[in-house]
Amino acid sequence: FGIEGIVHAKAASSEDDAAEFLTYDAIANTLLCETTGEKISIFKKVIVRVQVEEAGHEAAQRSKLVVRLVEPVVPGLSVKSLGKVDEVPAVVEIPGVGKVKTTSSDRVATPVTKKAKSKK
Domain ranges in the chain are 1-81, 83-115
Q: What is the DSSP letter of 89?
A: -
pTM given for the model: 0.54
**Phi, psi angle pair for 19, to nearest 5°:** -65, -20
CA distances from 67 to 6, 34, 46, 57 (A): 11, 22, 11, 22
SS3 at position 32: strand
pLDDT by residue, tens only, the chain of 120 residues? 566 666 666 665 555 555 567 888 889 988 888 888 888 888 888 888 877 777 666 655 677 777 888 888 887 778 877 765 556 666 777 776 777 766 554 444 444 455 555 555
Residue 106: Cβ-neighbour burial (10 angstroms; 0-12, 13-18, 19+)? exposed
